[in-house]
Amino acid sequence: MIVKSLRGRDLLSLQDLTSEEILGLLRLASELKKDRRMFCGRLGGKIVALLFEKPSTRTRVSLEVAVRELGGSSIYLGFNELQLSRGEPVADTAKVLSSYVDLIAARVRRHDDLVELAKWSDKPVVNALSDLDHPLQTLADLLTIWERFGKLAGIKIAWIGDGNNVCNSTLIGASKLGLHISIACPNGYEPNEKYLKLAEENAVESGSRIELTDDPEKAVKDADVIMTDTFVSMGMESEREQRLKVFLPRYRVTEKLFEKAKPEAVFMHPLPAKREEEVEESVIDGERSLVWRQAENRLYTAKAVLLSILG
């Protein structure tokens, strides 16, 4: 097995990678899934810092387990335990941390802080979620779609709800690899404009079709995958009431909405989910739901990323 090398590179967005590099990571993740002990010890002696400014279950634990199974070790750094929380500049933190560790994975409130961290860090920086992008999630989602349908190009994703960080990274992943994506969100909750433009540019090469609408029924027509995410992302709690008014009931993914998609369409969600807000309980806990598979795949895609950058 040849590991496609991203040696020493940052991963702030899938836009940083070519389609071949993304496919290389997915192939590697798929191999790692077949043999959980594969490459164990390969990261012997490597130390990864996990800097988290927001809570996390999947991202933190999948990265920690990935590092450990590959023979490295990790240090979890909660924002409040760092001098960052007392105003130490991101640049100073980056210079110091990168003199100790081999890679920094960071979950930040502001994407610009991640860019600043990467700018001043001598070691690679991986985005473990920002307000703008969540590349590690999208890698696991693409692996999940590939496993289910045996292909990626030509698959149609319908994204229903908030045009948030996960929507942005899905847009980039899909447009790099030739998946079609139709995004239905209320006015004012569209994905990031720069990401839409990048996706349009990617699509010229990959053949993706990208559609933006406010109509969930239009978006799910002929869809293979219906995706959604929370209507109230971390850091937006103060907007909760107003957001629920905007999104509900029209943007909830329901059994009824699935009737308009392909009969074999599946449901995907990065988790954590709020049942009966963005998704009906019977959908997320039903047979067409791939959410547990997506979460499980976070481990293998995390391993693939770490091996390619550090291995």
Total residues interacting with ligand NVA, rule: CB under 6 A: 9
From the list ligand CP, ligand NVA, none, partner contacted by residue 164 (C-beta under 5 to 8 A by kind): ligand NVA
Query: What's the closest the beta carbon of residue 303 comes to ligand CP, in angstroms?
Result: 16
Does 93 participate in binding ligand NVA (rule CB under 6 A)? no
Distance CA(299)–CA(24), nearest Å, equals 16
Taking the CB of residue 6, how many other CB atoms lie within 10 A of it?
Answer: 22
Question: Nearer Cβ to ligand CP, position 53 or 280?
Answer: 53
Taking each helix axis as running N to C, give the angle between helix 19-34 and helix 291-310, from 0 to 180 degrees, rounded to the nearest 10: 110
Smallest distance from ligand NVA to CB 298, Å: 10
Residue 192: alpha-carbon gap to chain centroid: 15
138, interface contact from ligand CP, ligand NVA, none, CB < 5-8 Å by kind? none
The listed partner (ligand CP, ligand NVA, none) that binds 57, CB under 5 to 8 Å by sort, is ligand CP
d(CA 8, CA 310): 7
Q: Which is nearer to ligand CP, 98 or 164 (CB)?
A: 164
165 binds, among ligand CP, ligand NVA, none (CB under 5 to 8 A by kind): ligand NVA
Q: Whole-angstrom Cα distance, residue 242 to residue 263?
A: 34
Name the strand (E) or helix (H) holding 98. helix 90-100
Answer for which of 21, 64, 133, 229 binds ligand NVA (CB under 6 A) is 229
Residue 32 or 129: which CB sits closer to ligand NVA?
A: 129
Half-sphere exposure of 272 (CA within 13 A, CB side): 7
State yes or no: residue 24 binds ligand NVA (CB under 6 A): no
* Binders in 243-272 for ligand NVA, by CB under 6 A: 270
* Gap between the Cα atoms of 257 and 79, Å rounded: 40
Residue by residue, DSSP assigns 59-71 as HHHHHHHHHHHTT
Q: Distance of CA 225 to CAs 158, 178, 258, Å?
A: 6, 14, 10
Provide the greatest CA pair distance for the chain: 55
Asked if 165 touches ligand NVA (CB under 6 A), the answer is: yes
Contacting positions for ligand CP (CB under 6 A):
56-59, 129, 137, 270-271
Contact 238, 179 (CB under 8 A): no
Q: Give the nearest residue (CB) to ligand NVA.
A: 233
Give the contact letters, 116-155, x = binds to ligand NVA (CB under 6 A), - = no.
Answer: -------------x--------------------------
Question: Of 158 and 302, which has the nearer Cβ to ligand CP?
Answer: 302
How many helices and strands, by DSSP H and E, does the chain display? 12, 9
SS3 183: strand
Contact 180, 206 (CB under 8 A): no
**Piece in contact with ligand NVA (CB under 6 A), picked from 78-86, 115-123, 208-216, 225-233:** 225-233
163 in contact with ligand NVA (CB under 6 A): no
Give the footprint of ligand NVA on this chain (CB under 6 A): 129, 164-166, 229-230, 233-234, 270
